[in-house]
Amino acid sequence: MLTMITTCRLNEVDPKAWLADVLARIADLPTSHLHELLPWEWKLLGQAGKPAGQQAA
């Protein structure tokens, strides 16, 4: 658990938000898309969904 939290922090991802989202989505996600739940991928997908101007620099 510490490794996951530290990985989130190193990638500037909120560990609580990431874990909540991962737990909510993992059961319905195809195996071929599990890489999307990695913190650095999750962050990119989250930024892509935000309107321009709200993305973190």
- For the stretch 1-56, pLDDT in tens is 999 999 999 999 999 999 999 999 999 999 999 999 999 999 998 877 665 444 44
Q: Is residue 14 part of a domain?
A: yes
Query: Comparing C-alpha atoms, which of 34, 32, 4, 29 is closest to residue 17?
Result: 4
Q: Is residue 10 part of a domain?
A: yes
Using only C-alpha atoms, what is the Rg of the chain?
12
Q: Is residue 47 part of a domain?
A: no
Question: Which pTM value belongs to this model?
Answer: 0.75
Q: Is residue 40 part of a domain?
A: no
pLDDT at 55: 46
Task: Name residues whose C-beta falls within 8 Å of residue 12's C-beta, 6 or more positions apart in sequence.
Answer: 43, 56
Q: What is the dihedral of CA 33, 21, 5, 9, to 10 degrees?
A: 90
pLDDT at 51: 54
pLDDT at 54: 47
Q: Is residue 3 part of a domain?
A: yes
Total structural domains within the chain: 1
